[in-house]
Amino acid sequence: MTRAILTLNSGSSSLKLGLFTESLEMLAMGHVDRIGRREAAMKLTGSNGAPLPLPETAPDAFATNAAALKTALAAFRADFEQLEIVAVGHRVVHGGINHAAPEEVTPALIKDLARLAPFAPLHQPHNLAGIRAAIDAFPGVPQIACYDTAFHRGHPFVSDVYALPRAYYDKGVRRYGFHGLSYDYIESALARSEPDLHAGRVVVAHLGSGASICALKGGKSIASSLGFSALDGLPMGTRSGELDPGVVLYLMDQEGMGAAEISDLLYKKSGLLGLSGISNDMRTLEASEDPHAAQAIAYFAFRIKREIGAMAAALGGLDGIVFCGGIGENSARLRAEVCTDMAWLGIDLDAEANAQNAREIGADRVRVLVIPTNEEIIIARAARKVLCL
């Protein structure tokens, strides 16, 4: 019987699962992609990266995040019957003011985290649904919540506040930042393999269905493109990114839209999907000959470039850029567009290395790296630490 830690990472359109020994050796990984679409599919791989057999699934097996979770858990159980799950670690997008470190889940904590759902409506409900499903699937097994916002809680005041009356800041209206588990992994990877760069000024671009930029100085987050909610900063798959608040007032006053309609527009109908009118998936857009697809990609790249410049200013200079996330790790075209005409900042690409998705793709003073992120190992580490396994 092998004692193992299960990790669950439920995103807005994907589900990732990890299975680790207590010594944090990876046993298996699972990934369900494009949830809610006809193309949805599940991949399972073993410790050597080889595919694991997939069970037969019903037509609606991946219709929702909850259905995908149930299907994936069943597949893991079928492949690893001799496992004893000793802990389940969960990605939770929003920890608010009061939750800045991993902790064991209690009924009171679930209620507290549910109150933060309006701040991250695409993720928090899925995260909590995953916790509840895991409690049902593994009764009595400790569940550990790991927060995407925790990594940014040491921000300086100027990176944490909005220019509103101070009372709102005291109530929790502040810049939280997200994707902290991913940035935590990249920070640890740099500390291990690139200590000199880790000690310097690095911009990390987490680019996927959700996207953000983080400025690291000496391995610490000092600024993030994301703020109070997961709507700020860069445009994303279906989210608008940075928006003049006056647009929201216009939608209310002139278009007669209510809060629910505006939320649906900004979270589910904007971003790459809204701009292109085609898809929220970068692979689909890159394969399209529709000029609107090219415009959506160009806008995405422009906003990333602008944010890199802003983060370089916050850092007082730049020593390196790290691309991670599904798009950042796999789209040579997007990386090339982002780094074009950035020589003034010391950024240039080795075109051949970039096309091959090499780890080191820079060709100028600023180092440019592609590092696959691994939120699952961060969650597993946290679960082991909290439970002293």
Residues belonging to the active site: 148
Who's near 284: CB < 8 A, 6+ residues apart?
278, 293
d(CA 52, CA 9): 20
Neighbours of 173 (CB within 10 A): 15
Backbone angles phi, psi at 266, to 5 degrees: -75, -30
Closest CA to 382 of 192, 143, 45: 143
Closest CA to 238 of 15, 17, 67, 34: 34
CA distances from residue 222 to 27, 85, 162, 187, 216 in whole angstroms, order as listed: 35, 37, 15, 13, 6
Show the tokens assigned to 64. Answer: 């929702």
The amino acid sitting at 39 is E
The b-or-e profile of 99-125 (16+ CB within 10 A means b, else e) is: bbebbebeeebeeebeebbebbbbbbb
Show the tokens assigned to 318. Answer: 């730049």
d(CA 301, CA 332): 12
- Strand 2-10, strand 220-224: pairing: unpaired
Who's near 334: CB < 8 A, 6+ residues apart?
207, 282, 297, 300, 301, 327, 328
Closest CA to 74 of 34, 39, 38, 30: 30
- Strand 41-46, strand 26-33: pairing: antiparallel
- Distance from CA of residue 177 to its chain's centroid? 11
Neighbours of 369 (CB within 10 A): 22
Show the tokens assigned to 118. Answer: 């309006």
CA distances from residue 105 to 5, 127, 162 in whole angstroms, order as listed: 15, 12, 31
